């Protein structure tokens, strides 16, 4: 298969994938709203190793970004890096997804990519839960129609708010606690953040199913998805590269 560079610019982290849905070489770095295209280009040259892909030269690149301040810089740096113009998911770009919401322009490009990636993986109705800066729920039916979703504060945002707005509560490692009932403040915060978020996801998915009458597959992705997915009561699967897979499909539609 042809190889591409797929870039997902999130509010907290930027993920770069080199390859295709068969195999992605992944790279992550902190998103900075003030970074320049020259800095990004230097970073790409430093962290991205394209030597293993020389037998199948990089065909092109595609970008989805929810940080408009640096979208152009990322596109410019990427285009210089591969000497080909990168596709930026937005108006005028084919996605193959029919968006049935009040204002389709409001739907973020990352959620479009997630929805397409989820549909490709399942071939059926699907709920994609992405645990990033925000925790998002996106619903696609078996006709590849986007029906809507939900947005909740992400786990890291919740932790930041908790520790910044209280005098005596300190930060904790975002890992699975041993018990629901914590024996100290540290364990109690872990329980509330991790197990509380897990319960929220279980309940939200149940409500989505009840409201729509669909029987969707459930896919979990995002930075903390690997921690949360095993704790869920609902039947689900973790897909680490779901956004990149969706971006690859959009790339194919536009080439």
pLDDT tier at 2, thresholds 50, 70, 90: confident
Indicate which residues carry an active-site annotation: 110
Provide φ and ψ at 242, rounded to 5°. -60, -45
Q: What is the mean pLDDT of residues 98-111?
A: 96
Q: What is the mean pLDDT of residues 219-231?
A: 95
For the domain 98-240, what is the CATH code?
3.30.420.40
Residue 186's DSSP bridge partners are none
Question: What are 6-43's pLDDT values in tens digits?
Answer: 999 999 999 999 999 999 999 999 999 999 999 999 99
What lies within 8 Å, CB to CB, of 254 at 6+ separation is: 62, 87, 93, 94
Provide φ and ψ at 240, rounded to 5°. -65, -40
On the question of a common fold for 3-88 and 98-240, the answer reads yes
pLDDT tier at 56, thresholds 50, 70, 90: low
CATH architecture of 3-88: 2-Layer Sandwich (3.30)
pLDDT of residue 50: 67
Provide φ and ψ at 107, rounded to 5°. -75, 120
Q: Which of 236, 155, 137 has its CA nearest to residue 197?
A: 155
Q: Is the model's pLDDT at 199 over the cut of 70? A: yes
pLDDT of residue 169: 75
Q: How far is CA 216 from CA 100, 144, 184, in A?
A: 17, 12, 39
Instruction: Please give the full DSSP string across 35-75, using - where no structure is assigned.
Output: --HHHHHHHHHHH---GGGTTS-EEEEEEEES-HHHHHHHH
pLDDT of residue 171: 85
pLDDT tier at 202, thresholds 50, 70, 90: very high
Domain boundaries, the chain: 3-88, 98-240
How far is 149 from 172, CA to CA, in rounded Å? 30
Q: What is the mean pLDDT of residues 42-49?
A: 88
The edge-to-edge listing of strands for the beta sheet with 58-65 is 23-30, 13-20, 3-9, 58-65, 87-88
pLDDT tier at 155, thresholds 50, 70, 90: very high
**pLDDT higher at 185 or 75:** 75
Q: Is the model's pLDDT at 49 over the cut of 90? A: no
**How high does pLDDT run on average in the chain?**
93
């Amino acid at each position: 298969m042809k190889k591409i560079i797929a870039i997902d610019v999130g509010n907290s982290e930027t993920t770069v994938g080199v390859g295709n849905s068969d195999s992605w070489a992944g790279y992550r770095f902190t998103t900075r709203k003030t970074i320049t295209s020259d800095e990004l280009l230097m970073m790409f040259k430093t962290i991205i190793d394209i030597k293993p892909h020389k037998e199948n030269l990089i065909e092109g690149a595609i970008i989805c970004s929810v940080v408009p301040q640096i979208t152009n810089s990322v596109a410019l740096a990427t285009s210089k890096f591969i000497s080909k113009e990168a596709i930026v998911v937005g108006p005028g770009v084919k996605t193959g997804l029919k968006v049935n919401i009040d204002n389709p322009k409001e739907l973020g490009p990352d959620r479009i990519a997630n929805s397409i990636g989820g549909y490709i993986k399942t071939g059926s109705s699907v709920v994609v839960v992405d645990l990033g800066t925000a925790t998002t729920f996106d619903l696609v039916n078996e006709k590849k129609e986007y029906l809507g979703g939900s947005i909740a504060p992400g786990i890291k945002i919740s932790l930041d708010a908790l520790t910044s707005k209280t005098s005596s509560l300190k930060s904790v490692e975002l890992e699975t606690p041993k018990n629901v009932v914590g024996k100290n403040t540290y364990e109690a915060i872990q329980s509330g953040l991790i197990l509380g978020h897990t319960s929220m996801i279980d309940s939200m998915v149940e409500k989505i199913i009840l409201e729509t009458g669909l029987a969707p597959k459930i896919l979990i992705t995002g930075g903390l998805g690997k921690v949360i997915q095993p704790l869920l009561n609902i039947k689900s699967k973790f897909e680490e590269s779901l956004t990149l897979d969706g971006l690859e499909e959009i790339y194919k539609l536009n080439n």
